[in-house]
Amino acid sequence: MATMHPSYNPEHFRVIHPLRDAPEQKCSSEGLGPLAMTRPVRLSLAVLRGYLILMTLMLGYHVLDLAGVFHAIR
């Protein structure tokens, strides 16, 4: 049978606004080499690149269609 503790002891945290906080030491990226990518990562990045190119072309076509560029050619 579980026991219930009648006393509630909440923890208190001090909140410091980021603008009033002391600046932290930044990490340096000097001396780091290129990141090794596995085959699935490289494939997923290529698929993402193709998707973004396709969506950009579709957006460009839609904008030109709304501007009436294709209607003027016909």
Tens digits of residue pLDDT in 40-49: 999 999 999 9
Assess if residue 67 is contained within a domain.
Answer: yes
Assess if residue 45 is contained within a domain.
Answer: yes
Residue 68 lies in domain:
39-73
Amino acid at 23: P
Assess if residue 7 is contained within a domain.
Answer: no
> Per-residue confidence at 8, pLDDT binned at 50, 70, 90?
low
The pTM for the full model equals 0.55
Using alpha carbons, list the distances in angstroms from residue 73 to 56, 58, 63, 64, 68: 22, 19, 15, 12, 9
Q: Which 8-state DSSP code applies to residue 6?
A: S
Assess if residue 62 is contained within a domain.
Answer: yes
Please check the confidence at residue 61 and state whether its pLDDT lies above 90: yes
Number of separate domains in the chain: 1
Please check the confidence at residue 58 and state whether its pLDDT lies above 70: yes
Assess if residue 12 is contained within a domain.
Answer: no
Assess if residue 53 is contained within a domain.
Answer: yes
Mean pLDDT (whole number) for 50-60: 98
68: which residues sit within 8 A by CB, 6+ positions away? Answer: none
Taking the C-alpha atoms of residue 69 and residue 18, their distance in angstroms, rounded to an integer, is 51
Please check the confidence at residue 50 and state whether its pLDDT lies above 60: yes
Assess if residue 59 is contained within a domain.
Answer: yes
Assess if residue 11 is contained within a domain.
Answer: no
Residue 44, pLDDT score: 98
